[in-house]
Amino acid sequence: MADAATRAATTPGAELRSEDAVKRPGARSAPADPVEKAVFSALANPARPAADRVRDKPRQSAAVLRFFRIAPGMTVLDLYSGGGYYTELLSYIVGTTGKVVAHNNTPYLAFAKEDIAGRYTADRLPNVERLLGENNELILPAARFDAVLMTNVYHDIYYVDDKAGWPRIDGPKLLAVLFQSLKPGGVIGVVDHAALPGAPPETGGTLHRIDPALLKHDFVEAGFMLDGESDALINPTDDRTKSAFDPSVQGRTNQFVLRFRKPL
């Protein structure tokens, strides 16, 4: 479980107070901490699409990004970035001195094509570099990134759909690529839909969920250190037995938030 300081910074209540301040200018002054200030400003950016703002509360994005300690000037990889909700926030946080690499593969491009079309029109996000990399073919420069973000994608390591062009991902190979691409001390922030304890890896394909213990094992085996856990997205009303896309839980699944670090 997260320590008391982490829980205080990342509980849903804390997130709602932060969002209330964004919605009501003057409700409180901007935070002094540079990371929190950058996140606060990113969420309040008037250039953000209205559809993104609707997602802020259920995704607890302020709490998540504060927990991952994304800061101005960083170079960040948004792995399997989909429609780019987090990519845009990252773009505003890292600012003109930073860089965001928004990765997708061909199936993700097709799945999120409408969001992507609006996201990158007219050079809206000039500090974002788009990267196409298919499963098991991703190549990244060594020690380029300060942080990597993986939001609701790691379970797809155990998903296979050959007809859709989604072959089984070689998990150890992917984690090795990410490990070498991070600077020493760099962070990987992971959010994913929680499966029941002991759920088999195949649950990633059937329910689009993963047992947090399995994910932790995979990352530690790859050389990462578990650096922190947040309970910002815990939802005890989700019994973790339904698909993450089941209408009764979609957008409200019990999710875990983990921060891993590459040793110095």
Q: Which of 25-39, 96-110, 188-202 has the lowest mean pLDDT?
A: 25-39
Entry pTM = 0.86
CATH number where 221 lies: 3.40.50.150
Tell me the Ramachandran region of residue 147: left when phi exceeds 0, alpha when psi lies from -120 to 50, beta otherwise: beta
What pLDDT score does 33 carry? 86
- State which residues form the domain around 41: 4-261
Specify the number of domains making up the chain: 1
Work out the percent of the chain whose per-residue pLDDT is above 90: 78
- 219-259 per-position pLDDT tens digit: 999 999 999 999 999 999 999 999 999 999 999 999 999 99
- Amino acid 166: pLDDT: 83
Look at 184 and 18; give whichever has higher pLDDT.
184
- State mean pLDDT over 119-144: 94
Average pLDDT of the chain, as a whole number: 89
Question: What is the predicted pLDDT for the residue at 28?
Answer: 52
Region for 208 from its dihedrals, namely left if φ exceeds 0, alpha if ψ lies in -120 to 50, beta otherwise:
left
What would the mean pLDDT of 30-59 be, rounded to a whole number?
A: 92
